[in-house]
Structure 1
């Protein structure tokens, strides 16, 4: 039986999984760390060549006999990145990433050019938020004029890896909807926003064609040889990491709610129709499966807990012990964990705040709990917008590094008042990419199973990792969440300057 592989190029590492659909099991996994270049202006950049080197390193560590059985693969990639290429396909500059806040002024200028935030949402379904791809183009024009002058193609991170694998430039609706240029209602590029971004050139000529969700491409023979893969491998379109995580958690049918606790935090739900908020309370993205994926993103999730652990010399793996040593609500200590700016709430220039300090809660364990609670409350803030819009959910499916913590799983259940499930396959985005590839590969061979059918067959939860809300703790967290909102209201005018 053929295997399917999933590649996930994240912020901190690149991962590869190989899935055996007959055995319903992963037969290989590999991971390689990635460096992140940070600047005082908020810039966050990586070298696309490092993604390629990490991909090569991961496949090199997989048994050649396993690689020989891979028939199809797909790439998941961090959203919103900006990879500029020249006409020959050479990278012109480091890739600016989703967490790059140096282009916040450019966001406002683009939206002002079309009449403001409301007009931008009317045109495309989303405002152009800090970190979105669109703002990185005018920044490049100003700060890297040589790269701008030679610019021929704009690719997203996962698009670039697809280009390396196939030699072809293409994108797909899910990841493209995170650029700020795609009208998510019609699934077409917005000519008005492209012109507003750069009135001096036709940016449409720089954007790759949009491929169908079930499209397949032949792997480039040289790429196949370098990775030790059969020359017959078919490359599916893949997508943004959130879109692939939606597949990997089974969030491909209405009524499902998934949460990812990674460097950033995300909360997303599948819809058969566009779900646009006129105020931009959430991201109205397309899915990578033909539907839509309303999504809440926070910039600071495990990033916040890891920074606190580093500052106090705590072991992140001891997170559960830190939580058990302190009560819900951290004895009144509140953290607004906006260490990297913030998207939900929309405070791109925001800074972290630690409030409510007294003689009883000034301890490393309390600060660690406050960071974990603050990251969770930021997601609850976005969830409340979903609920106000009439969305209803019965369970949360949890993925990402934070889902490995039993204490954090319980915290989510208690704060949201919903049961929490964790998929048996922990690498949700990489696994989702493998399932998308399996779905597209099967369709090309006459299998009409829907992507929902694929997810139902292959996405399983681990009962040992489930959590249910505890009423007594839920009440304590509700009070702590109200304090979080009070502090947020108080500091927001300061954070917005």
Structure 2
């Protein structure tokens, strides 16, 4: 009775991890790819049916005997997605995702209706930034009026998978923070932000009830049969992928800092109280562990290095050699990597900028390094806001696909001048979801252990992948980062003006 599963529905794939808590071992895993539908207006969409099909494929790839041993499942999902369903639970349209910037104008409209960004922060703890769920509602009302008319419930991606598994519509505080509608201080839906989003409709009636982090629900008999699971399986509250990665990397206690190098880049810390910035320098989210999770998100991380590698016809698996062949600072080449617009810094209509091109650095290796440096510098920009607010950290837990790169691990250690650890379980969001499922099951059985205690017992690091700062490279990255900030200051007015003209 110790085998649990974690399912992570990301942007590029759905991943499944099966964990034996008694043996302290991942005993099986599977993944299934997803496709992203993109349009020139910034739309980024997926149909929720693809997530369900991928989930079925993942469980189908696991040995039947292992599946029958599973007692609890946690679901992690990409944050901010907008899944509109009708009264019968049928999906009405493709889900608009976290990386969708087609609703940038709606962000501004909501904030204006709320009295400005400062008032949004006062009401709920966060402004409405590009990609947040709230902006997708007025976009849907304008562009998909038939969907808006039939809309009964708004679900987030992981909420939708929970609904498929349990037949219940519910949401937890961590993922709910990313909608822009949750007051993170009171952990309740904000009536003021709902009214600012749509003054003509009671949006509160479209939102599922909020449940605590240790909540769990029974799987439906039909889904248990379809997936080859025991009908006794419990489904935990789950959460957003960043919240689940926090659990999976042990970032559930004060002083912990996790960085995720995925399609997007994130940097987050645990807090036992709301950590709100009056200027909105970071996302003031709740965690999916009963606390809070101040978070920096950049919308362009591994996606940038992947684009550069594809442009020159090589695999990112061979990218480290390009980085090692070039010096810190890429011989003066600077890349502002805002291919998908950007959230940190807040430039939803931002574009990529290459600066400092010269004959000596116009090579694929320099451009690949500059892309990796640009993604890392964007996260350093957010980290500086954390430090400026008085937060302090001793180490970084690094996760996500970028953590597989030895060159990127060393770059993070050098740019941040902090030691880097890599958790032994690389699928941190799926693993965190499994640990939350284990914790919720234990709580239901009367165990009083905290989630921090569960994480301390099960989260381990891989000492072979640790990186420590190299003093010489730390020194050489400092002027390169200052150059990045100067180019950012120069580009910011251009894309701020673009946003203003599109409003």
| TM-score bracket, shorter-length normalisation | over 0.9
What SS class does the counterpart of residue 6 from structure 1 fall into?
strand
Is 2:379 the counterpart of 1:359? Answer: no
Counterpart mapping for 1:349-428 below 5 A: 349-428=349-428
- Tell me, in whole angstroms, the C-alpha distance in 2 between the residues paired with 1:446 and 1:186: 27
Is 2:302 the counterpart of 1:264? Answer: no
- Tell me, in whole angstroms, the C-alpha distance in 1 between the residues paired with 2:320 and 2:111: 44
The C-alpha deviation readout for 1:317-337, integer Å capped at 9, x for no partner, is: 012111111011100000000
- Tell me, in whole angstroms, the C-alpha distance in 1 between the residues paired with 2:314 and 2:383: 30
Number of the residue aligned with 1:307: 307
Number of the residue aligned with 1:438: 438
Is 2:59 the counterpart of 1:64? Answer: no
Number of the residue aligned with 1:211: 211
The C-alpha deviation readout for 1:445-496, integer Å capped at 9, x for no partner, is: 1111110101110000000000000000001111100000010001111111
C-alpha deviation, 1:170, in angstroms: 0.1
Number of the residue aligned with 2:126: 126
What SS class does the counterpart of residue 5 from structure 1 fall into?
strand
C-alpha deviation, 1:271, in angstroms: 0.1
- Tell me, in whole angstroms, the C-alpha distance in 1 between the residues paired with 2:196 and 2:23: 51
What SS class does the counterpart of residue 410 from structure 1 fall into?
helix
- Tell me, in whole angstroms, the C-alpha distance in 2 between the residues paired with 1:98 and 1:311: 25
- Tell me, in whole angstroms, the C-alpha distance in 2 between the residues paired with 1:71 and 1:96: 32
What SS class does the counterpart of residue 243 from structure 1 fall into?
helix
Number of the residue aligned with 1:487: 487
Number of the residue aligned with 1:85: 85
Number of the residue aligned with 1:240: 240
C-alpha deviation, 1:315, in angstroms: 1.3
Number of the residue aligned with 2:18: 18
Number of the residue aligned with 1:448: 448
C-alpha deviation, 1:2, in angstroms: 2.6
C-alpha deviation, 1:241, in angstroms: 0.2
- Tell me, in whole angstroms, the C-alpha distance in 2 between the residues paired with 1:362 and 1:315: 19
C-alpha deviation, 1:96, in angstroms: 0.1
Number of the residue aligned with 2:36: 36
Number of the residue aligned with 1:477: 477
C-alpha deviation, 1:355, in angstroms: 0.5
- Tell me, in whole angstroms, the C-alpha distance in 2 between the residues paired with 1:276 and 1:162: 29
The C-alpha deviation readout for 1:264-283, integer Å capped at 9, x for no partner, is: 00000000000000000000
| Structure 1 gap segments, 5+ residues each | none
- Tell me, in whole angstroms, the C-alpha distance in 2 between the residues paired with 1:21 and 1:318: 36
What SS class does the counterpart of residue 323 from structure 1 fall into?
helix
- Tell me, in whole angstroms, the C-alpha distance in 2 between the residues paired with 1:197 and 1:341: 22
* CA RMSD between the two structures: 0.5
C-alpha deviation, 1:169, in angstroms: 0.1
Matched pairs, number:
497
Q: TM-score, normalised by structure 1?
A: 1.00
Q: TM-score, normalised by structure 2?
A: 0.98
| Structure 2 gap segments, 5+ residues each | 498-503
- Tell me, in whole angstroms, the C-alpha distance in 2 between the residues paired with 1:453 and 1:282: 27
Number of the residue aligned with 1:4: 4
What SS class does the counterpart of residue 243 from structure 2 fall into?
helix
- Tell me, in whole angstroms, the C-alpha distance in 1 between the residues paired with 2:229 and 2:80: 29
Number of the residue aligned with 1:101: 101
C-alpha deviation, 1:3, in angstroms: 0.4
Number of the residue aligned with 2:147: 147
C-alpha deviation, 1:352, in angstroms: 0.0
What SS class does the counterpart of residue 178 from structure 2 fall into?
coil
- Tell me, in whole angstroms, the C-alpha distance in 1 between the residues paired with 2:310 and 2:388: 37
What SS class does the counterpart of residue 277 from structure 2 fall into?
coil
- Tell me, in whole angstroms, the C-alpha distance in 1 between the residues paired with 2:424 and 2:372: 23
The C-alpha deviation readout for 1:347-376, integer Å capped at 9, x for no partner, is: 000000000011110000100000000000
Number of the residue aligned with 2:501: none
What SS class does the counterpart of residue 68 from structure 1 fall into?
helix
What SS class does the counterpart of residue 354 from structure 1 fall into?
strand
- Tell me, in whole angstroms, the C-alpha distance in 1 between the residues paired with 2:12 and 2:138: 26
Number of the residue aligned with 2:231: 231
Number of the residue aligned with 2:166: 166
- Tell me, in whole angstroms, the C-alpha distance in 2 between the residues paired with 1:443 and 1:308: 47
- Tell me, in whole angstroms, the C-alpha distance in 2 between the residues paired with 1:396 and 1:153: 38
What SS class does the counterpart of residue 179 from structure 2 fall into?
coil
C-alpha deviation, 1:342, in angstroms: 0.3
Number of the residue aligned with 1:52: 52
What SS class does the counterpart of residue 242 from structure 1 fall into?
helix
C-alpha deviation, 1:23, in angstroms: 1.0
